[in-house]
Chains A and B, each alone.
Chain A
Amino acid sequence: MAKILVVADIKQGVLKSSTTELLSKAKDLGAEAAVVAVGSGVQSLVAELVKAGSDTQYVADDAGLELFSAGPYAAAVVDAAKQFGADMVWFGFSESSKAVAPRVAAQLDAACATEITDVTLGEPVEVIRPAITNKVLQRVRINTAQLVAVVRAGAFEADEGITGTENVVQLAAPEPDTKAVVKEVVSDTSGDIDLGDADIVVSVGRGARNEAGVELVHELARDLDAAFGSSRAMVDAGFMPHNKQVGQTGRIVAPSLYMAVGISGAIQHLAGMNGSKVIMAVNKDPEAPIFNVADYGIVGDLFEVVPILREEIKKVRS
């Protein structure tokens, strides 16, 4: 029986859904599934980690782990992987995962696959992943006994009926990284729902032009209880923070509804939202590439269209 260690996706003390999704896939493949939780105060998540489907919970809970730091986090995951005898270590998709997974792979001398959409067990194990800015898929053969993988957001489905068993193993606190010291984190305090959690995502692009335009689109997002994202242009221009950038190099999202407002649809942006169930776009330029992927496209000036959208949405939702 294969042994799969899932790294719990914990953000600001909250256990994210990818944990259940990855554990569901592991059990679906007939594997023995454990989870490793790293952070400060994560001990309190044990019951949820069991409910998410894990049969062993490796916990590295230490005040020193409050701020994310790739070195210590990787050390804790490696510790769990060795104790469990993991054949595979899976991470949900996040910036932290992308920073930690290659370290874990190097330390375990395992193969490393990022952004996998599928995995098949066997001799050998194979994974599927996108490449060339989401333009092609690769089928990759894994030649090592162990694999460390970062799973694409939404690639695996959660099994609603999944169950687990409590079997907690405390890990020793890893050494802090004294050479790369996190001094502070400039947090996003907007109170918006996280991009990865939202059923609806509204993203703003260059068409919004300035702060007033960004705020107009932000209002639309708030009306819909949606997450608020951005194209790269608006992040580069300083109107939106880095971690709201949807795209190949930022966040990959797959909500039920994605509204691209004032976004032209560059390849790199499409790579980040192409998996959305329904795409709606608003753009002044009828030739904008976004219209090639949008299910519903409105050709128009967002300054005119967004207020009308908000009105119409209010009517429909009441």
Chain B
Amino acid sequence: MKILTTVKKVVDVELNIHVQDGAIVEDGLQYVINAWDESGVETAVQLKENHGAETTLVSIGGGDNTDIIRRCYAMGIEKGMHIDDPALEKADAFIYARVLQKVFEKGDYDLVITGKQAQDTDNGQTGIILAEYLGLPCVSNAVGIEVIDDTHLKVTRSGDTGDEIIELELPAVVTVDVSINEPRLPQMRGLMMAKKKPIEKLDLAALGTSAEEIGCAAPKSEVVEFMATEKRAGGRKFEGEAADITAQVVQLLAEEAKVL
């Protein structure tokens, strides 16, 4: 089984994010691998270890993605490519999907694994749109994957009424949720070895396409402004004798907040 897994460099959401003059303040931002893609990488590596799958990662844009790609190598991914091109600056999910389509068509993959969403945009669209463009079956929000045979996977999807058990025919696209696994921490040795592994760097021309073909000049949507969310202020914190403070809070919920 040949697996292509996507990896996006995104802003670290644990840090404070500030907005000024309609834009995100760059100063102080740190970048990390998208948590959902990290679970995707772990999924691919487990399929390698348990079923001999071959694994390749692709990362698009982001400038210098060397650190996160090496981290994935250290986790066990065998090959990687970084697609970067100035034309991709305003890429939306559809444009990313077109680029991934080109990457897929250049190779011989049976399974594409993407994180179900990216923690910067929270869009959750790219993997599903890619499947549409490739004409492949797709299961999104996967929380479990098992191999049935060379051409079929059993995928558990978290749905609205419960877990959906789906038999998926390869080639296919699966988008994973973080609850599918706990990504391994790369070991020191793995990180050292990763430094020696090449990263194939490609622009759109090297990928055999062009900005026109991908539709870079006309993204379907564009962020024109960032705004701060209304900060929810904390209220009152009660410490002391459990019986007292609990009774107090219940009174307040009933009489002040009027929600009981």
Where the two chains meet, the residues of A that have a C-beta atom closer than 8 Å to any C-beta of B are 11-12, 67-68, 70-71, 94-96, 98-99, 101-103, 105-107, 110-115, 126, 128, 130-144, 177-188, 200, 224, 232, 235-236, 241-243, 245, 248-249, 256-257, 267-268, 274, 277-280, 286, 291-301, 304-305, 308-309, 312-313, 315-317
Contact = CB atoms under 8 A, between A and B. Distances in A.
Cβ-closest 8 pairs across A and B = A295-B235, A179-B137, A106-B132, A242-B158, A111-B220, A312-B250, A257-B259, A187-B162
B44 interface: no
A114 B161 contact: no
A136 B234 contact: no
Interface in B102-132: 116-117, 119-125, 128-129, 131-132
Interface string B62-104: 0000000000000000000000000000001110010000000
B250 A309 contact: yes
B212 interface: no
Contact of B237 (A236, A241, A291, A308): A291
Nearest to A67: B164
A113 B219 CA distance: 13
Given A94-B160, A248-B122, 10 more contacts: A98-B124, A137-B227, A180-B172, A242-B179, A243-B161, A249-B177, A257-B259, A296-B235, A297-B234, A298-B249
Nearest to A199: B259
B50 interface: no
A99 B122 contact: no
Contact of B128 (A99, A115, A301): A99
A200 B259 CA distance: 8
Contact of B225 (A138, A183, A274, A286): A138
Contact of B250 (A96, A177, A313): A313
Contact of A106 (B129, B237, B239, B254): B129
Contacts of B138: 70, 180
Secondary structure call for the B interface: mixed
Interface in B198-241: 218-229, 232, 234-239
Contact of A292 (B222, B234, B251): B234
Contacts, number: 269
B12 to A, nearest CB: 10
Contacts of B228: 136-137
B257 A296 contact: yes
Interface of B: 11, 13-14, 17, 19, 24, 36, 92-94, 97, 116-117, 119-125, 128-129, 131-133, 136-141, 143, 158-169, 172, 177-179, 182, 218-229, 232, 234-239, 242-243, 245-247, 249-254, 257, 259-260
B238 A296 contact: yes
A297 B236 contact: yes
A138 B132 CA distance: 26
A21 B163 CA distance: 27
B161 A188 contact: yes
B160 A95 contact: yes
Given A140-B223, A180-B172, A280-B253, A103 B132 contact: yes
Nearest to B167: A181
B224 A140 contact: yes
A226 to B, nearest CB: 11
A123 to B, nearest CB: 14
A179 B221 CA distance: 31
B32 to A, nearest CB: 12
A298 B226 contact: no
A56 B229 CA distance: 37
A1 B242 CA distance: 59
A112 B94 CA distance: 9
A250 B71 CA distance: 27
B165 A136 contact: no
A101 B162 CA distance: 20
A316 B260 contact: yes
B232 A103 contact: no
B162 A243 contact: yes
A214 to B, nearest CB: 17
A310 B254 CA distance: 13
Contacts of A236: 179, 182
A143 B222 contact: yes
Contact of B17 (A136, A177, A256, A300): A136
A130 B227 CA distance: 9
B249 A280 contact: yes
Nearest to A138: B223
A130 B222 CA distance: 14
